[in-house]
Structure 1
């Protein structure tokens, strides 16, 4: 398939290599200063751009009949508007805070555990995420997705960075060296602790998941998630 890359930083370059290895073609590399964009050559767009560019990138693709896979964070105040435009233009869209196949299985495990723990009030849940020092936003989008998964399946009212009260999930964010990403969900009582953890060994898993999502979305119409891609119900 013919892939357009919106954003050509570290992740864009990694997606390019994986896509080429899987016999796909990169027909466009759109970055900050790109002016002329030919949508007619694109089968699908993969967006890992900047927050201030993502909404326009995504919606322009929809308007030109190009389905979009997006992993850009920091623009979700316009997410519902983007979904509405996708539906209006009869296009297709997958957004994920993390495209790693393992992380998306971890999301499901997290929600399942939250349901099991929801009536055990003696346990307080907390989270920790560790990323490389170049990651400026905190907590990570993945940690927020994990927190939302717990909130949806429990009596917690929200999450808070660092300290929290009993009605909120405390998320600790650490920035260390070149760490690709580690996320831990911990349930602690006075007598024991239960912990689930996902550790990325490198960033290739994120790029591979985005390419697999792009392969999956071809020929489809609608708003989807990685649950659909992985057939997780």
Structure 2
């Protein structure tokens, strides 16, 4: 809606398209869809009038001078200013198509659809124990039996069998080990946040390579976030040198 359009007036206070648009933008997606549109929604205008009436009443009663309100106002102002400052800091971040193409070419192996694997694992908490079990497997002992005897994962009941999974379903260290090795491989102990895994790769499906046009938006978003994080971290480092910081923890 035209931001300068006059919609109503309450005790001399004008209600314009700016107020209308801000109200619509504040709604959740479902309500926004219901109340939005090119036509002016009378219910929205009525609500803005009701709010303006409450505002006038609050001013008349001096609520804007209330200590509690002033404290809330200062905190709200502080929060809004932080958000605004961050927005201004990051608003100039741009991502070129050349950057996106280079990222795609350098990381083609990461852009696959339907890539999956089937694996079994033995999970233990101690590295020494994991190495001991790995040596037993190398010497010919049965993987499934060792999983049932030593693994701390519920999959031990199935001999460590995890079934089929796609990229993104497992923690990174585990996933990298599975997709980097050939079918039939039993890996050396792999450390993750859960402990140490000895992994047996049972099967793999390479899937298909995703074309540049299918992933360029995702890549652009990833590059933008990386740039924003770098700018943010650099700015925080500068401000830490400029202002005194005390922490009680």
- Shorter chain as normaliser: what TM range? under 0.3
Q: Which structure is richer in relative contact order (CA contacts within 8 A, separation 6 or more)? A: 1
**Higher share of residues assigned strand:** 1
Q: Calculate the TM-score normalised by the size of structure 2.
A: 0.23
Q: Calculate the TM-score normalised by the size of structure 1.
A: 0.24
**Higher share of residues assigned helix:** 2
**Structure of larger gyration radius:** 2
